[in-house]
Amino acid sequence: MRESDKLLYKTLKSILNEKLSAEETQALKEEGFEVKSPTRKTAVMVALYKKAVTGDLSAIKELRSIVSEKKDEKPTDNRTVMIIDDIRD
């Protein structure tokens, strides 16, 4: 990953982890979303959910991929397997 990409990633991650303002939190509550310690990431996910429930296929696919990422994650042991073709004709 390039240095500029790392900076962009860290900046975006920092922004998404910021807590929502009281007004934004109240707006979520008024829409029926009771969330403990809501962050900007929460707001993005709620917006994605709202798009999905309207039938937006790309939002539905994105939600499905996010949900299945957690389910499909497997612990890594950081070992690499190298296959060497040592059989000669």
H or E element, residue 46: helix 40-53
pLDDT band at 5 (very low <50, low <70, confident <90, very high): confident
Q: Tell me the β-bridge partners of 19.
A: 39
Residue 2 pLDDT exceeds 90 = no
Domain ranges of the chain: 3-64
Q: What's the pLDDT band for 65 if we cut at 50, 70, 90?
A: very high
Q: CA-CA distances (angstroms) from residue 68 to 4, 31, 62, 74, 76?
A: 29, 26, 10, 12, 17
- Average pLDDT for the chain: 85
- pTM (global) more than 0.85: no
Predicted local confidence at residue 47, as pLDDT: 95
